[in-house]
Structure 1
Amino acid sequence: MSDSVLSGGFVQGLAIKDSLLATGNANIEIRPVSDPITRTKSFMEGSADFCICDVDVYYAQEGLLGYDTENSGPSEIRLVLASKTNFAVGLGLSTDIGSKAVSDLRNQPVPWIRKSPQLNAYMTAFLAYGGLTWQDVQQMTYPNFEQARIGYEKGQLSAIIVPLGSSADQQQTAPRRPYQMAKIDPNQKAAWSRLKSAAPYIESSNIFPGIGLTSPYPLLVTSASEDREKVYQLTKLISENLNDLSERVAGGENWHPTWQNFSWILPYHEGAVDYFKELGIWTPQAQIHQEFLVSRQKRLVKSFDDFSKQTPSPKNFAYEWQVYRADALSKPIE
């Protein structure tokens, strides 16, 4: 399972499929699902063994932003491999209202995109950097990013997410209304700490320093219950065929096992860990962090089960769960 046919994740998935089929050792089918929440929920319910997803799976792990309903809570998701990407986003501030910093967005209209946890998380992180929350701005809801971009061009918004890439890509996706890029400096410790608290998986872009935020994309994930040997073999096949993969798709080499971040926010599947140990790259520090993440996931899942048994109000379910969740995570995790 992957994201939509227009996405980089789908293109990467097709390349992985073709590369592994060429070895004669794998039989893979790629099924695209454009809506991230539907895709992740469907995958976790068993409609696919693996998912080439975006960082939306972080919120599926956390039980937040669409995964905080009566029918959907935290999930025990495991990472297999993450692709180190050059993709980044920045925040465009409208110049015609005099915005020079994120903090200038107080009481200004800012976009919220339906069923797009990733874009909303980036915007939440940008706001946090500026010392703001969604309660400090006018939240304007749009059905998709394209409509939000059009809304910005029509003067309905004071800020817009700007995808950063090649100059040609930026020319296609950037709004025509004037804007300047917000300065996002990791050296501003308090502001950066607020940003990381809002979205722990986000990093400063090395390619667009001072303006860009990035995160690994795409992510190859599976469930904690997936067969250990199957995950080991898939991790090994991809890792040993990166030369072929990189010839089939730009960025194919970005799945390299030595480029994995073993101190990130998702635990790896034990089958993938077996392969990393075989390569000699899995460290004692990585194991300690892994055990912490697994224990934290299990606490989230159990906390959601306990919370649901209290028959919370359907109307206030998400809010009450967030309060209960925060209390559960405030206790030491062994």
Structure 2
Amino acid sequence: MDTKIRFGAALAGLMALSMGSAAAQELPGTMVWTSYDVGSAGYAEASAIADAFGREFGTRVRIQPSGSGIGRLQPLLQGRADYAFLATEAFFVAEGAYDFAKPDWGPHNLRAVAGRPAGITLIAAGDAGINTVEDARGKRIAFVAGNPSVNVKCEAILAFGGLTLDDVEVITFPTYSSAMSSMTRNESDATCTTPTTSQLYELAESPRGIQYAPLEADNKEGWDKLLKVLPIMAPSDEDVAAGLPEGEIAKMAAYRYPVITTTAEKSADEVYAFIKALDETYDLYKDGTAAMKRWSLDMSGKPAIDVPFHEGAVRYLKEKGIWTDEDEVWNQKRIERMDAMAKAWEEFKPQNESMSEEDYTEAWMAKRAEVAAGLN
């Protein structure tokens, strides 16, 4: 009898050890992620998180950098990458917009795991007389050629002040860097970007100075207009910005960059394990860059974000007490919008495939705007 008891205890211990090992292996032994180019914030943050996963769980992560949204998305959609650290191309590909408004692209069903908040507003030269967004009427606004991720955010911010592109003088620059530095050279009056871009520090120190047009959270009419253009942002208080006196707050919009994205078909258990690991290793990577503290799930695990949260992520966020009923309403509404876009695409594509690519893109973007306008 005593032998049986000892054998049973040993067997139970082995089973417990086995279960513990299985739990430790919830995170895959190897993963592939895509990100922006080496040297970008997205690559630096993905690298810091990958290093934390390796140290804590022994997981080996290979990061594939790419300078284009298509280059970051294709490996994910083709099953060659597990996760992608994306910018606003996550929203664009979910709706088949801009670079993805082509017959061989169209809307894709993606899901978010988490996304770090980043602030943005209309940032003006101090001598341009732009104290509010409304003041930008008739002013020179710097846009970036071939960069809808930047330009559509500016279009949305102008809408906050009741303005359209017809109300301002759009000056298009060939690169992001040249657009951001154009105010210092007095080639533009304002642009839309994050408040810590290096060129803004130069502007703040220049004779022109710097001014942030506020996006006040209590301006419901303004926010309704902004979100009709780009429904992935939310009010944000920023205390780190070029030329902003210590202790002051700038009222901005928060978007997400990077957004850790995967496909809707990804196993809920796999995504649950990923976001759990992201949470548990936070102390290992939070000081990796100046912005990485914002990966805390009480910030990175909340709407608004480019695409709906994955069900595996939602499960973990609920367990942590982070996910609210309001978050769930937002998520379901976002899924409904994506479903509406996919349905419209399925009807649109076979009827218009004979068009040239340019005409097809223009026609689909008009159809997409019509679908978006018809949603609540």
TM-score (norm 1): 0.84
Deviations 1:17-58 (A, max 9, x none): 111111344221112112335423553344422111223312
Which aligned pairs between 1:163-202 and structure 2 lie closer than 5 A? 163-165=194-196, 170-172=200-202, 176=206, 178=208, 179-202=210-233
2:302 to 261, 268, 287: 261
Contact 1:153 1:175 in 2 (8 A): no
- CA change 1:41–1:121 in 2 (3 A) is farther
Q: Which position in structure 1 is the counterpart of 2:24?
A: none
Unaligned runs of 5+ in 2: 1-33, 240-248
Shift of 1:229: 2.7
Contact 1:109 1:137 in 2 (8 A): yes
- CA change 1:152–1:41 in 2 (3 A) is farther
| Bigger mean CA deviation after superposition, 256-265 or 72-81 | 256-265
Output the CA distance in 2 between the equivalents of 1:169 and 1:225.
41
1:308 to 346, 349, 353: 349
1:33 to 66, 78, 87: 66
Q: How many positions carry a matched residue from both structures?
A: 330
Q: Which position in structure 2 is the counterpart of 1:80?
A: 113
Q: Which has the larger radius of gyration?
A: 2
2:154 aligned with 1:113, yes or no? no
Amino acid at match of 2:263: S
Output the CA distance in 2 between the equivalents of 1:89 and 1:279.
29
Unaligned runs of 5+ in 1: none
Q: Which position in structure 2 is the counterpart of 1:270?
A: 311
Shift of 1:192: 2.9
1:206 to 217, 229, 237: 237
Q: Which position in structure 2 is the counterpart of 1:218?
A: 258
Which aligned pairs between 1:6-21 and structure 2 lie closer than 5 A? 6-21=39-54
Shift of 1:170: 4.5
Q: Which position in structure 2 is the counterpart of 1:290?
A: 331
- CA change 1:265–1:147 in 2 (3 A) is closer
Shift of 1:204: 2.7
Q: Which position in structure 2 is the counterpart of 1:317?
A: 360
Shift of 1:239: 1.4
Output the CA distance in 2 between the equivalents of 1:308 and 1:109.
38
Shift of 1:252: 4.2
- CA change 1:131–1:37 in 2 (3 A) is farther
Contact 2:181 2:203 in 1 (8 A): no
Q: Which position in structure 2 is the counterpart of 1:49?
A: 82
TM-score (norm 2): 0.76
**Two-structure CA RMSD over aligned residues (Å):** 3.1
Deviations 1:90-110 (A, max 9, x none): 323345554454334334432
Which aligned pairs between 1:54-65 and structure 2 lie closer than 5 A? 54-65=87-98
Give 1 or 2: higher strand fraction. Answer: 2
Deviations 1:124-163 (A, max 9, x none): 1221122221233333222222111343333332322353
Shift of 1:210: 4.8
Shift of 1:331: 5.5
Contact 1:43 1:51 in 2 (8 A): yes
